[in-house]
A and B are shown apart, each in its own frame.
Chain A
Amino acid sequence: MSEKVLMKGNEALAEAAIRAGCRLFFGYPITPQTEVSAYMSKRMPQVDGLFLQAESEVAAINMVYGAAGAGARVMTSSSSPGISLKQEGISYIAASDLPCLVVNIVRGGPGLGGIQPAQSDYFQAVKGGGHGDYHLVVLAPASVQELVDLTAEAFDIGDMYRVPVMIMGDGMLGQMMEPITFGEPKKRNLPEKTWATTGTAMQRKKNVVNSLYLTPEELEELNNERAKRYAAIEENEVKVELQQVEDADLVLVAYGVTARIAKTAAAIAREKGMKVGLIRPITLWPFPKKEIANAAKSAKCFLTVEMSQGQMVEDVRLAVNGAKPVHFYGRNGGIVPTPDEIVKEMEKLLGGANE
């Protein structure tokens, strides 16, 4: 199907997952992502799939572990407090080299926080919210169409590298209605899941899905093998959008819906004669370090804009590596920054330069 349809972010995500071959969804209700569950509970039975409402996020993610270990395309979705509960399972999934999709429609925190849009789970997502050395591939769509496209991509990346993948959105993206098309996702050559526990049929040696290794040498070797896959992901899977960076004095760095607001701010700033560009990381891990380092050669400064107290800004600073000043502007607790606020920030930073 390639005609345009008008869909809410959360529902489009669910439909995209089904079209990508996901037939198992385990979840627990939490605002603002309940539409994902509601849609799944209606759609899954129509495609001989399963929607199961678990007793908790802890149970849901461990169901995902079991199903992923059995070789299925499987997902769960939740919002910040629920994602905290899933961290145990995510660490085990990463350690057992299982692919799956975890969706976080982020809300304001910490604690129970609020239900309005936020980006305050960045650290948890990209630095490994659970214990141990591991990474999630983290995708941060900025539109409903991109959410649809990245959902299919997320399953493929997971299968290709045997890693869990997270899609990070927020309540705004989840609720937003936009026209979309469900295109044919680009086909990757995916390895067969020869490791899955599907029963030996007395035809092969048994498969074991496990993360316990009491011999330090063995554990280190396995961790190092996984690190090679992480390095390959960093090499091959970075996605980033650059806009008018070449001649920019100031480069905005923002992701998700914040990047859309930053784009508007950049356009206003250009009209006012400020040379402003934008870098929008689409993958938060792997992070577009090279592109940011490259921009640091020509730009005078950076302004990272987030719906948090400043989390991604640390990665921007690492990428810039002291070459240029990196500033931060953010709102949090569920407050969305306005283009005008961002323009004002930029005027403060570029004030001298443009007079």
Chain B
Amino acid sequence: MKKVFERPHALSDVTLHYCPGCTHGIVHRLVAEVIDELGIEGNTVGIASVGCSVFSYNYFECDMQEAAHGRAPAVATGVKRALRDKIVFTYQGDGDLAAIGTAETVHAATRGENITVIFINNTTYGMTGGQMAPTTLVGQVTQTTPYGRKTETQGYPINMSEMLATLEGTAYIERVAADSVQHIRAAKKAIKKAFETQIAGKGFSMVEVLSTCPTNWGLSPAESMQWLRDNMIPQYPLGVFKEKE
């Protein structure tokens, strides 16, 4: 009998610890499928970051390093410069990439560091219990914005993809969403494109994935998908922001 659905080889045979309905799991699967399809598992080093995805070093079958909070692009730089022919990717949340690690992100991008960044934007700090992230929407209630994010005191959400696309060093930047079958298919294509960009040696590639955090949003998984569509996509439009030939 032909198997029609199986675990990608690059995804470890362990139970993921994510909350029910969390899209981290979906994105892990997409990354693993792409690694399988490109046949690069034995040639890849992944960098886990600090956030809910911290244990991703247990979930991918390739060699992994776990970076300090925000430092994954610097760690990836170290790995890539030491092993020039290996494929190096980071997997980071929005607090990690766009707050504490902004400098590391921007400079890896502007150096044209030939790495791939998988960026999970769920508008909150999931792991520490749902505090405001730089990506939190205006008016959004979080543990540290109990009255909603106010621009006078907390400023505005940060659109990382648009910002990084302005840098000469970036080669491929796309924003996708993990809320529907159609969007998830597009997300996989983008992730594949990002890895192919690195394989072709073109420079920094990043896929921003709009994701859900049902636990901290206080919504059901289905409601979360709808919330993402209704609230996040208007602030964070989907699309390709940079594609170097």
Inter-chain CA distance A212–B58, complex, in Å, is 11
Are B63 and A200 in contact, CB atoms less than 8 angstroms apart? yes
Stretch at the interface among A49-57, A140-148, A243-251: A49-57
B residues near A24, Cβ cutoff 8 Å? 78, 81-82
Best-buried of A64, A203, A210 by chain B (most CB within 10 Å): A210
Are A62 and B104 in contact, CB atoms less than 8 angstroms apart? yes
Q: Give B62-104 interface residues, CB cut-off 8 Å to A.
A: 62-68, 71, 74-83, 86, 103-104
Are A59 and B103 in contact, CB atoms less than 8 angstroms apart? yes
A residues near B104, Cβ cutoff 8 Å? 55, 58-59, 62
The answer to the question of B166 belonging to the interface, with a C-beta cut-off of 8 Å to chain A, is no
Given A55-B103, A197-B65, A62 contacting B81 (CB threshold 8 A): no
The answer to the question of B139 belonging to the interface, with a C-beta cut-off of 8 Å to chain A, is no
Given A55-B107, A89-B68, A198 contacting B75 (CB threshold 8 A): no
For the complex, count residues of B whose C-beta is within 8 A of A. Answer: 35
The answer to the question of A353 belonging to the interface, with a C-beta cut-off of 8 Å to chain B, is no
The answer to the question of B146 belonging to the interface, with a C-beta cut-off of 8 Å to chain A, is no
Best-buried of B44, B45, B61, B86 by chain A (most CB within 10 Å): B45
The answer to the question of B210 belonging to the interface, with a C-beta cut-off of 8 Å to chain A, is no
8 Å CB contact of B78 from A26, A88, A199, A203: A26
The answer to the question of B231 belonging to the interface, with a C-beta cut-off of 8 Å to chain A, is no
Q: Which residue of B lies closest to A65 (CB)?
A: B75
Are A199 and B44 in contact, CB atoms less than 8 angstroms apart? yes
A residues near B68, Cβ cutoff 8 Å? 62, 65, 88-89, 92
The answer to the question of A112 belonging to the interface, with a C-beta cut-off of 8 Å to chain B, is no
B residues near A128, Cβ cutoff 8 Å? none
B residues near A66, Cβ cutoff 8 Å? 47, 65, 67, 74-80, 82
**Chain B contact surface mostly:** helix
8 Å CB contact of B64 from A50, A52, A206: A206
Query: Interface size bucket, A side?
Result: 35 or more
Are A198 and B63 in contact, CB atoms less than 8 angstroms apart? yes
Are A74 and B78 in contact, CB atoms less than 8 angstroms apart? yes
Q: Which residue of B lies closest to A92 (CB)?
A: B68
Q: Give A49-107 interface residues, CB cut-off 8 Å to B.
A: 50, 52, 54-56, 58-60, 62-72, 74, 88-89, 92, 96
Q: What does the 1/0 interface line of A126-142 toward B look like (CB < 8 Å)? A: 00000000000000000
Are A200 and B65 in contact, CB atoms less than 8 angstroms apart? no
Query: What distance in Å separates the Cβ of A236 from its nearest Cβ neighbour in chain B?
Result: 29
Best-buried of B42, B44, B106 by chain A (most CB within 10 Å): B42
A residues near B42, Cβ cutoff 8 Å? 199-203
Query: What distance in Å separates the Cβ of A173 from its nearest Cβ neighbour in chain B?
Result: 28
The answer to the question of B227 belonging to the interface, with a C-beta cut-off of 8 Å to chain A, is no
Inter-chain CA distance A202–B41, complex, in Å, is 7
A residues near B82, Cβ cutoff 8 Å? 24, 66-67, 70-72, 74
| Extra pairs beyond A24-B81, A59-B107, A200-B41 (7, CB < 8 Å) | A56-B103, A59-B104, A65-B67, A65-B68, A67-B81, A198-B45, A199-B42
Q: B residues bordering A, Cβ < 8 Å?
A: 41-45, 47-48, 54, 57-58, 60-68, 71, 74-83, 86, 103-104, 106-107
Which 10 residue pairs are nearest across A and B when measured between Cβ atoms?
A66-B78, A62-B74, A197-B63, A66-B75, A63-B78, A67-B78, A202-B42, A55-B107, A62-B71, A72-B82
